[in-house]
Amino acid sequence: MTNEPAKELFRRYYVARTLTVPALAQREFGFGFESKIDYRHKAFGSEGEFNDFMRREAPLYASYSTARYSLPAARPMPRKGSLGTDLVFDLDKTYESEHPDSHNAIACERCLSRSRDDALRFLEEFLIADFGFKKSDVAVNFSGNKGFHFHVRTAAVQPLSSLARKQLCDYAGGFEVSGETLLETLGEGKAAVLRSPQPGDGGWRGKFYSSALGIAQNATQESLQENGLTKGKAAKFMEQKAVVVSAIERGKWDYLPWSLDFWRKIADDTVRAHRVELDKPVSFDLARLIRIPGTLHGSSGLVAKPVDDLAKFEPLKDALAFSGRERQAVVCDHDVSFDFGGQTLDVRAGVTVELPLSASLLLYCRGVAKPAG
């Protein structure tokens, strides 16, 4: 059954604006009222046609193809004639397990801020630093619920294979790097040589190099023991601190055989701290549909908002569908309490309460409230 109170507010949202979609006439569209995609293989000839559809139907979920096609509505898929596919990444991880006692199922600022931090890291450390995209090539989009999408729409990425896209996700996931590969012993016995990160290295080797150098430069007896070095080896490290720092600065890790296991552990820690878990099929499935930027998300009523300054983005303030002072009276079927738009909202079961429009919409979308009366 369609969520009518939510749909009514979605319609108001779409009536009040005109959405633009890059390469609209070459995209396949999919829409959902009951589920995220009830039907797909739809196409529009113009922005006017698309916006008329959104205002008339007010779908709870609206997605478009990351691929561009010569015949986007054709079926089956091969008849569409692919013209290339945007490179898209989806960061959709849940962080609930990190704070089970304080997680809020209605709207969780802690989850959203963890997600934003990971998104910022993925943008800066991977998309820009390691993959070499220009900041202006990457469109960052709040997903509308709990994560972030990254769209690269340049000509150069359009022909990338499914495998290449998967490899980029695996790289960011750090699946193939560890202490053993970042400080790798090649050969055996006297012929053994250590392949180790060098100054100026990029990628995972560079991330490890920077974190190792920082640990060495700032080392104290306590910090080293906290990182797993024995008391005796930590004391030796402190005695030879200048030598250790200098060896790392010159990439001469084989000067430090007594601490190689320690550095391998630091490398493992670095990988864990920097890896980014992406929803891989969104990237490598070339027939994938993804939330249309600027549309509302049917599970939250929040806007899948394009984000200019990720570091400052706060979804529960910046991605609201309605920002005016209008309120709507709702009744909840159980007690809820959540932070929203900079205030804490408490709603008791069965008690009519007037909430800001976007907060009422959130509760309709979460399925816990109805309009009062």
User: Quick one: 71 or 105, whose CB is closer to Zn ion?
Assistant: 105
> Amino acid identity, residue 242?
A
How is residue 28 written in tokens?
């396949």
Total residues interacting with Zn ion, rule: CB under 5 A: 5
Q: Which residue's CB is nearer to Zn ion, number 96 or number 268?
A: 96
* Beta strands, E only, the chain: 29-32, 39-42, 61-65, 67-69, 82-85, 87-91, 138-142, 148-152, 184-186, 193-195, 289-291, 306-307, 327-332, 336-340, 343-347, 353-356, 369-371
**CB closer to Zn ion out of 113 and 178:** 113
The CB-of-109 to Zn ion minimum distance in angstroms stands at: 8
Three-state secondary-structure class, residue 359: helix
Q: How far is the CB of 114 from Zn ion (least distance, A)?
A: 8
Which C-beta is closer to Zn ion: that of 88 or that of 111? 111
Q: How far is the CB of 120 from Zn ion (least distance, A)?
A: 18
Which residue, 67 or 107, has its beta carbon nearer to Zn ion?
Answer: 107
Q: Taking the complex as a whole, how short is the minimal distance between the CB of residue 70 and Zn ion, in angstroms?
A: 44
Nearer to Zn ion, 108 or 320 (CB): 108
Task: Evaluate the omega torsion of the peptide bond into residue 159 and state whether it is cis, within 30 degrees of 0.
Answer: no
Q: How far is the CB of 316 from Zn ion (least distance, A)?
A: 12
Q: Which stretch binds Zn ion (CB under 5 A): 108-116, 159-167, 189-197, 347-355?
A: 108-116
- The smaller minimum CB distance to Zn ion, of residues 36 and 110, is found at 110
Please state the closest distance from residue 100 (CB atom) to Zn ion, in A: 9
Name the minimum Å distance from CB 98 to Zn ion.
8
DSSP 20: -
Site string for Zn ion, 77-106 (x = CB under 5 A): -------------------x------x---
Do 91 and 146 touch, CB atoms closer than 8 A?
no
**CB nearer to Zn ion: pick between 313 and 338:** 338
Q: Is 232 in contact with 243 (CB distance < 8 Å)?
A: no
**Closest CB 4 distance from Zn ion, rounded Å:** 29
CB of 320 to Zn ion, least distance (A): 19
- Cβ-based nearer residue to Zn ion, 96 or 318: 96
Provide the minimum distance between the beta carbon of 171 and Zn ion in the complex, in angstroms, as a whole number: 28
Tell me the per-residue interface mask from 110 to 149 with Zn ion, x by CB under 5 A, - otherwise. xx--------------------------------------
User: CA 174, CA 363: separation in Å to the nearest integer?
Assistant: 38
Contact indicator for 108, 100 with CB cutoff of 8 Å: no
Asked if 108 interacts with Zn ion (CB under 5 A), we say yes
Q: In sequence order, which residues have a C-beta less than 8 Å from that of residue 71 and are 6 or more positions away? A: 79, 80, 81
DSSP states along 70-94: SSTT-SSGGGG-EEEE-EEEEE---
Query: DSSP 3-state assignment of 45?
Result: coil
State the Cα–Cα distance between residues 352 and 310, nearest whole angstrom: 36
Q: What are φ and ψ of residue 116, in 5° steps?
A: -65, -40
Burial of 43 (0-12, 13-18, 19+ CB in 10 A): buried
Q: Between residues 289 and 368, which has the closer beta carbon with respect to Zn ion? A: 368
Locate 90 and state its tokens: 């989806």
Give the integer Cα–Cα distance in Å for 206 and 212. 10
Q: Which residues bind Zn ion (CB under 5 A)?
A: 96, 103, 108, 110-111
